């Protein structure tokens, strides 16, 4: 038994994930702590082991109850025995109290307190023993009912996943952490990592937000401001905002405190940008700048193989072959195992007409990275140029396979998408052509005979298997052996050869890959494997050095290949490596699972990592996450409790019992004990093919009376989506007021947002190379005016008339004559359609035309008064009319101007509100819709396709939905038809003909609408996505303005008021405890509600503003505390007097209507 002093115990109690990155255990100074941690781990492991054997004995003896684990002294007891006066100390410590939540482990694994597993996780994490940490944390998570109450656990597990590059789960955990506790002491570390991961995922907007939040945070951190600024500059670079990136890089270089490493990184980025980016000047000048900067980079960090490689590329670009070879060679010395370098060496040899050397270099590249598309392509070109068609064919097939494996990574900046792989378009087509060509050639060719003329190069099979270059190979062997040493695995270095067309000559079907995917992933894992190398880095450099080593080109040292460099037509040019930024992140998850399985299965020597939880259960995590749904239950442990039965005075008294010298930890409008929001599972019922294509609920209106009947509203509210046919006719609406002609006459210079999109048929969405169906949808944003768009719309129509005249065909308006009552008939019609041959034809969609200004659009807006109340823009029964200010496009009208093929990508409405959409005509629109209960399924599919559900632009592949048992409504909206989109319904729309649409949102006063809006409000908060409906502000207005007789709706609104009032009380007490005065500010008429300028969360009633800033930016409390922990220099303003809020809260009671008085 380890004898521990009370100091040691204090230290151990104190240590958890929050010290990760701050406590450098490789520093000899910390050897004492390191020993202590290792000893403690041993003690805890003994405890786990003996309790495990006890539980086995228990089972065997059938003694179920009352067996004490005498064999081991429980760690907790041990601490208690020795701690004595420690407890009071611990309570004072800021770090230790807040999050160490003791949950009683009553789950029957021996007698081990489940917190033991959490502690083990923390301690292993501090030792950088990630496998063990993961295993212990997972065990804890499985046993802990409410893991979300333990914030340092969430943080620790998030770090572990980050280190494993399991970005999906790491992101999820960090988001949850920041949602649950924005004051968490390592919030800045979480923000930084979120920024890095979201950057890799292509969600640039969110990435920027998190990096800025990390930067704004003044608390201690493992990274410097300059390093974050570098990441932000790099974020600009990957978005092709070259000028902004260049300026940001240069700005950082001017800082005196810049480190050598960072200098090297920046010079490298700048150098490569000068090489690639045309807008940065004349070619000659750019080339010399590029060389200069890359040399500076190498000066600053002579060990950087990446810079040397890029220098080689630049030399090769200006034809300095010798210098290029030299640089490549140096690069190989520094960073062996870089497939890009070998590929470029191959290119250089090939250009020098040295095919054998080129072959060797390419083989090196593809052996290092079997998915290296450029190297496979170049090999193909090389073989073809030597007349070895079979080998060329095999190589091209591999390249093609990599292309189809590659996902298109689209991300949006604002709503502007960026397509990473646009550069591959021409290349892909070129290779596909070559494959086709060679197939025919090989078919016709005579059987190859051994005696035929000598080949110039050895075949791809021979090349793959022979040790072709001693130097190359030995280096490679070393490299792989190193990896294997770290992994304790022995497998052959080279493995079987690449796929080779073995089929009969008459039918050259592409052979399947000889290697299975697990072996494929080995190479990819090389980066992850470095996890086990000791981190010999300075304390405060840790995060960045770690990711520099591991993320390689993905994060810090990321560079992008020139788009034009390698893209001339195939056959004449050779391509360098141009692995896109995100390519490697797709399979991390599966790889990791496989890998864990292997490591736990194969290792049985004494150095086996300890498994607290079989890692094959890695999937349990997601199950754990999903079983927790939003529940409005009370947490018995949360004291004092708050409930909606309490009056405001009671609430106030209860708040006084809280630790008001600390900020309110939970700022959700849901109950504090609720788990963090998560997308729901899809309904489990298995649907038949017919149920997957349900008929669309539709009604046909004969007259005005129909339109105003309460049954119509009931009908709409009952279905996820409904189409009301003939509405305009029944109400005698003058749709002409919204025709392009009238709009141009009224306001020709009015602004129109334009989306440039690819023209394709409605049920298809192809990637840019036309090779694959994808979810990511291209939609570039720009602006124009109504008059100019009208011109485009008209000329597009004229052109098509001309085309049709030329062809004498019936035109594409096949759909117009079918009144689609059900979607089955629609899909039949669509089967006749052909895949567009000229898929790259672009179109422009005029969207989000703002018709809110009553002076400009009076006739149009007053025409809409003819609508029945439930569909009107403004009505007392519409929640959005109670917001008290304009939310553009939601409680005001927006107009859409379309040509055929204009797409509104998949989405739910803001905060899940309902929407009204009327087709003005003359053409039709086609709609696709999925009931709200399935949104979690669509969310997961977006994630699978690497697109952000909230920020991204996506067009679902219908077959993917059907496979996931997700039903899709599909119907045509004709001119004069109104589409009702119910709360939360996921939908996407494409115009069939030329038409305009008008749309806005409504919020029926129902419990369903309100709860879906609140749920999305919370989900948005977790996702750092701005909720443009300020739900707290709205709830207070609803309480002021309306009487609620629906019990459920009443309780939901009252709950929101209760949480919000409690929060206001708490914040005010807290602010006072800091000695800051709260000034009454009031609210102007129609004043917009406030959002935090940093994190975009709604700020209700208590606003924080920096005294010295000229521009008054409102902050939320968590953000302002990061700027100024003492609230010094901060002005605190109040929008409503407490007495007013108390009055509103107390007066808001359930309205009992006559006759229904007893309803409960």
In angstroms, the Cα distances linking 770 to 806, 840, 841, 990 are 27, 8, 12, 19
The residues, any chain, with a CB within 8 Å of residue 410's CB and separated by 6 or more, are 202, 417, 418, 419, 420, 776, 777, 778, 947, 952, 953
Q: Which two tokens stand for residue 80?
A: 């208690």
Give min distance, CB of 222 to Zn ion, in A: 22
User: Nearer to Zn ion by C-beta: 294 or 1092?
Assistant: 1092
Give min distance, CB of 192 to Zn ion, in A: 17
644 and 1058 in contact (C-beta within 8 Å)?
A: yes
User: Nearer to Zn ion by C-beta: 1054 or 1066?
Assistant: 1066
User: Nearer to Zn ion by C-beta: 1042 or 1123?
Assistant: 1123
Q: What are the helix (H) ranges across 850-897?
A: 858-863
Cis peptide before 640 (omega within 30 of 0): yes
**Cα distance between residue 311 and residue 295, in whole Å:** 7
User: Nearer to Zn ion by C-beta: 172 or 209?
Assistant: 209
> Scanning residues 758 to 787, which ones bind Zn ion (CB under 5 A)?
none
Give min distance, CB of 1117 to Zn ion, in A: 8
User: Nearer to Zn ion by C-beta: 692 or 1028?
Assistant: 1028
User: Nearer to Zn ion by C-beta: 1095 or 1103?
Assistant: 1095
> Scanning residues 71 to 100, which ones bind Zn ion (CB under 5 A)?
none
User: Nearer to Zn ion by C-beta: 575 or 1094?
Assistant: 1094
> Scanning residues 1090 to 1149, which ones bind Zn ion (CB under 5 A)?
1092, 1094-1095, 1116, 1119
Cis peptide before 332 (omega within 30 of 0): no
Give min distance, CB of 1074 to Zn ion, in A: 18
| 930 contributes a contact to Zn ion by CB under 5 A | no
Give min distance, CB of 1090 to Zn ion, in A: 11
774 and 767 in contact (C-beta within 8 Å)?
A: yes
User: Nearer to Zn ion by C-beta: 34 or 191?
Assistant: 191
User: Nearer to Zn ion by C-beta: 206 or 696?
Assistant: 206
Q: Is 609 exposed, middle or buried (0-12, 13-18, 19+ CB in 10 A)?
A: buried
The half-sphere exposure of 115 on its side-chain side, counting CA atoms within 13 A, is: 15
User: Nearer to Zn ion by C-beta: 592 or 1092?
Assistant: 1092
**Cα distance between residue 815 and residue 1124, in whole Å:** 62
User: Nearer to Zn ion by C-beta: 523 or 1116?
Assistant: 1116
Give min distance, CB of 1094 to Zn ion, in A: 4
User: Nearer to Zn ion by C-beta: 867 or 1092?
Assistant: 1092
655 and 1066 in contact (C-beta within 8 Å)?
A: yes
Cβ atoms within 10 Å of 824's Cβ, excluding its own: 15
CA-derived radius of gyration, the chain: 32
For 893, the 3-state DSSP assignment is coil
Give min distance, CB of 1118 to Zn ion, in A: 6
944 and 688 in contact (C-beta within 8 Å)?
A: no
User: Nearer to Zn ion by C-beta: 217 or 336?
Assistant: 217
Give min distance, CB of 951 to Zn ion, in A: 19
Q: Is 705 exposed, middle or buried (0-12, 13-18, 19+ CB in 10 A)?
A: exposed
298 and 307 in contact (C-beta within 8 Å)?
A: yes
Q: How many residues bind Zn ion (CB under 5 A)?
A: 5
Give min distance, CB of 1083 to Zn ion, in A: 20
Q: In what order do the strands lie in the sheet with 969-973?
A: 903-907, 986-991, 925-930, 969-973
User: Nearer to Zn ion by C-beta: 188 or 344?
Assistant: 188
Give min distance, CB of 176 to Zn ion, in A: 17
Give min distance, CB of 1089 to Zn ion, in A: 14
User: Nearer to Zn ion by C-beta: 209 or 596?
Assistant: 209
> Scanning residues 1055 to 1094, which ones bind Zn ion (CB under 5 A)?
1092, 1094
User: Nearer to Zn ion by C-beta: 924 or 1098?
Assistant: 1098
User: Nearer to Zn ion by C-beta: 894 or 1024?
Assistant: 1024
User: Nearer to Zn ion by C-beta: 460 or 1116?
Assistant: 1116
The residues, any chain, with a CB within 8 Å of residue 580's CB and separated by 6 or more, are 406, 409, 420, 421
Q: Which residues of 726-755 are buried (b: 16+ CB within 10 A; e: fewer)?
A: bbbbbbebebebbbbebbbeebeebebbbb
Give min distance, CB of 952 to Zn ion, in A: 24
Give min distance, CB of 885 to Zn ion, in A: 20
Q: Which two tokens stand for residue 1?
A: 């038994």
Give min distance, CB of 178 to Zn ion, in A: 11
375 and 344 in contact (C-beta within 8 Å)?
A: no
Give min distance, CB of 183 to Zn ion, in A: 11
Give min distance, CB of 182 to Zn ion, in A: 7
Give min distance, CB of 1093 to Zn ion, in A: 8
**Cα distance between residue 112 and residue 74, in whole Å:** 8
DSSP secondary structure code for residue 857 in this structure: S
Per-position x/- string for 276-305, each x denoting binding to Zn ion as judged by CB under 5 A, each - no binding: ------------------------------
Give the residue among 914, 931, 928, 908 at the shortest CA–CA distance from 973.
Answer: 928
Give the residue among 206, 139, 205 at the shortest CA–CA distance from 171.
Answer: 206
Q: Which two tokens stand for residue 211?
A: 């990096």
748 and 786 in contact (C-beta within 8 Å)?
A: yes
Query: Angle 885-886-888 (CA atoms, 0-180°, nearest 5)?
Result: 160
**Cα distance between residue 462 and residue 179, in whole Å:** 57
Give the residue among 975, 921, 971, 953 at the shortest CA–CA distance from 756.
Answer: 953
Q: Is the dihedral of CA 101, 102, 106, 109 positive or negative?
A: positive
**Cα distance between residue 314 and residue 312, in whole Å:** 5
Strands of 969-1097, DSSP E: 969-973, 978-981, 986-991, 995-1002, 1078-1080, 1090-1091
Q: How far is CA 1031 from the centre of its chain?
A: 24
Give min distance, CB of 357 to Zn ion, in A: 58
Binding site for Zn ion (CB under 5 A): 1092, 1094-1095, 1116, 1119
């Amino acid at each position: 038994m380890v004898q521990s002093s009370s100091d040691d115990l204090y230290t151990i109690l104190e240590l958890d994930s929050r010290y990760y990155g701050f406590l450098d255990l490789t520093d000899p100074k910390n050897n004492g702590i390191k020993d202590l941690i290792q000893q403690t781990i041993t003690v805890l492991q003994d405890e786990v082991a003996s309790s495990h054997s006890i539980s086995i004995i228990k089972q065997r003896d059938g003694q179920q109850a009352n067996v004490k684990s005498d064999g081991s002294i429980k760690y907790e007891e041990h601490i208690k025995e020795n701690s004595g006066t420690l407890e009071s100390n611990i309570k004072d410590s800021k770090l230790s109290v807040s999050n160490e939540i003791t949950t009683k482990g009553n789950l029957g694994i021996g007698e081990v307190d489940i917190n033991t597993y959490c502690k083990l996780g923390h301690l292993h994490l501090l030792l950088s023993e990630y496998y063990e940490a993961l295993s212990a944390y997972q065990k804890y998570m499985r046993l802990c009912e409410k893991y979300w109450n333990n914030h340092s656990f969430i943080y620790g597990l998030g770090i572990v996943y980050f280190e494993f590059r399991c970005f999906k789960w790491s992101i999820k955990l960090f988001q949850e952490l920041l949602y649950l506790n924005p004051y968490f002491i390592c919030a800045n570390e979480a923000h930084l990592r979120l920024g890095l991961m979201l950057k890799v995922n292509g969600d640039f907007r969110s990435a920027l937000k998190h990096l800025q939040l990390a930067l704004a945070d003044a608390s201690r951190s493992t990274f410097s401001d300059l390093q974050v600024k570098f990441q932000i500059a790099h974020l600009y670079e990957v978005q092709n905002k070259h000028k902004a990136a260049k300026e940001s890089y240069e700005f950082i270089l001017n800082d005196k405190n810049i480190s050598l490493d960072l200098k090297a990184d920046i010079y490298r980025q700048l150098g490569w940008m000068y090489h690639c980016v045309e807008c940065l000047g004349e070619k000659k000048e750019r080339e010399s700048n590029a060389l200069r900067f890359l040399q500076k980079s190498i000066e600053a960090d002579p060990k950087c193989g990446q810079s040397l490689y890029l220098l080689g590329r630049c030399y090769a670009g200006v034809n300095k072959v010798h210098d290029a070879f030299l640089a490549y060679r140096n690069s190989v010395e520094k960073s062996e195992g870089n497939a890009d370098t070998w590929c470029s060496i191959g290119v250089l040899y090939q250009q020098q007409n040295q095919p054998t050397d080129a072959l060797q270099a390419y083989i090196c590249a593809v052996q290092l990275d079997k998915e290296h598309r450029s190297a496979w392509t170049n090999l193909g070109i090389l073989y073809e140029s030597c007349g070895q068609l079979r080998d060329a064919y095999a190589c091209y097939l591999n390249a093609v396979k990599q292309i189809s494996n590659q996902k298109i990574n689209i991300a949006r900046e604002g709503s502007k998408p960026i397509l990473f792989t646009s550069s591959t378009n021409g290349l892909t087509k070129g290779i596909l052509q070559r494959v086709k060509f060679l197939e025919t050639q090989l078919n016709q060719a005579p059987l190859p005979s051994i005696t035929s003329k000598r080949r110039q190069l050895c075949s791809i099979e021979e090349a793959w298997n022979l040790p072709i270059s001693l130097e190359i190979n030995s280096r490679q062997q070393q490299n792989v052996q190193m990896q294997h040493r770290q992994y304790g695995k022995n497998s052959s270095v080279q493995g079987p050869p690449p796929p080779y067309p073995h089929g009969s000559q008459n039918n050259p079907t592409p052979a399947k890959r000889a290697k299975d995917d697990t072996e494929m992933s080995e190479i990819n894992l090389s980066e992850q494997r470095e996890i086990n190398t000791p981190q010999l880095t300075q304390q405060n450099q840790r995060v960045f050095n770690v990711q520099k080593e591991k993320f390689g080109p993905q994060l810090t040292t990321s560079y992008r290949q020139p788009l034009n460099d390698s893209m001339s037509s195939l056959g004449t040019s050779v391509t360098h490596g141009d692995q896109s930024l995100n390519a490697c992140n797709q399979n991390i998850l599966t790889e990791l699972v496989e890998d864990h399985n292997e490591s736990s299965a194969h290792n049985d020597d004494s150095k086996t990592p300890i498994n607290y939880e079989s890692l094959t259960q890695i999937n349990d995590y997601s199950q754990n996450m999903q079983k927790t749904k939003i529940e409005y239950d009370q947490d018995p442990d949360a004291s004092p409790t708050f409930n909606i039965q309490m009056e405001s005075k009671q609430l106030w008294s209860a708040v006084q019992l809280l630790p008001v010298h600390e900020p309110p930890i939970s700022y959700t409008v849901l109950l504090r004990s609720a788990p963090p929001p998560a997308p729901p599972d899809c309904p489990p019922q298995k649907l038949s093919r017919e149920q997957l294509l349900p008929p669309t609920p539709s009604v046909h209106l004969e007259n005005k009376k129909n339109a105003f009947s309460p049954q119509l509203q009931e009908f709409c509210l009952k279905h996820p989506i409904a189409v009301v046919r003939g509405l305009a006719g029944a109400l005698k609406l003058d749709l002409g007021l919204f025709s392009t002609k009238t709009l141009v006459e009224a306001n020709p210079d009015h602004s129109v947002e334009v989306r440039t999109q690819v023209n394709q048929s409605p049920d298809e969405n192809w990637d840019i190379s036309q090779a694959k169906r994808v979810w990511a949808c291209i939609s570039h944003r720009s602006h124009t005016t109504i008059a100019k768009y009208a011109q485009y719309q008209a000329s597009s129509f004229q052109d098509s008339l001309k085309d049709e005249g030329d062809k004498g065909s019936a035109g594409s308006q096949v759909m117009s004559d079918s009144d689609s009552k059900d979607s089955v008939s629609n899909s039949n019609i669509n089967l006749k359609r052909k895949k567009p041959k000229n898929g790259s034809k672009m179109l422009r969609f005029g969207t989000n035309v703002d018709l809110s200004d009553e002076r400009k659009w009076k006739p149009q807006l007053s025409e809409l008064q003819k609508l029945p109340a439930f569909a009107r823009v403004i009505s007392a029964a519409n929640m959005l009319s109670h917001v008290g200010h304009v939310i553009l496009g939601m409680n005001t009208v927006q107009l859409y101007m379309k040509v055929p093929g204009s797409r509104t990508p998949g989405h739910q409405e803001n905060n899940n509100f309902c929407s009204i959409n009327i087709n003005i005509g003359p053409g039709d629109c086609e709609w696709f819709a999925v009931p709200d209960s399935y949104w979690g399924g669509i969310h997961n599919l977006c994630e699978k396709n690497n697109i952000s559900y909230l920020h991204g632009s996506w067009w679902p592949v219908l077959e993917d939905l059907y496979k996931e048992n997700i039903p899709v409504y599909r119907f045509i909206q004709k001119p004069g038809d109104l589409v009702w989109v119910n709360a939360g319904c996921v939908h996407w729309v494409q115009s069939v003909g030329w038409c305009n649409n008008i749309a806005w949102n409504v919020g029926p006063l129902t419990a369903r609408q309100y709860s879906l809006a609140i749920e999305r409000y919370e989900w948005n908060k977790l996702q750092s996505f701005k909720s443009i409906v300020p739900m707290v502000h709205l709830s207070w207005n609803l309480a002021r303005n309306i009487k609620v007789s629906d019990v459920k709706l009443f309780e939901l609104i009252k709950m929101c008021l209760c949480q919000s009032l409690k929060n206001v009380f708490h914040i005010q007490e807290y602010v006072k405890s800091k000695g800051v005065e709260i000034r009454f500010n009031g609210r102007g008429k129609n004043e917009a509600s406030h959002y935090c300028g940093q994190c975009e969360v709604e700020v209700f009633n208590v606003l924080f503003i920096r005294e010295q800033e000229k521009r008054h930016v409102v902050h939320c409390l968590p953000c302002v505390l990061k700027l100024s922990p003492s609230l010094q220099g901060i002005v605190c303003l109040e929008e409503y007097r407490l007495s007013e809020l108390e009055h509103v809260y107390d007066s808001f009671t359930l309205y009992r209507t006559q006759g229904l008085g007893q309803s409960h």
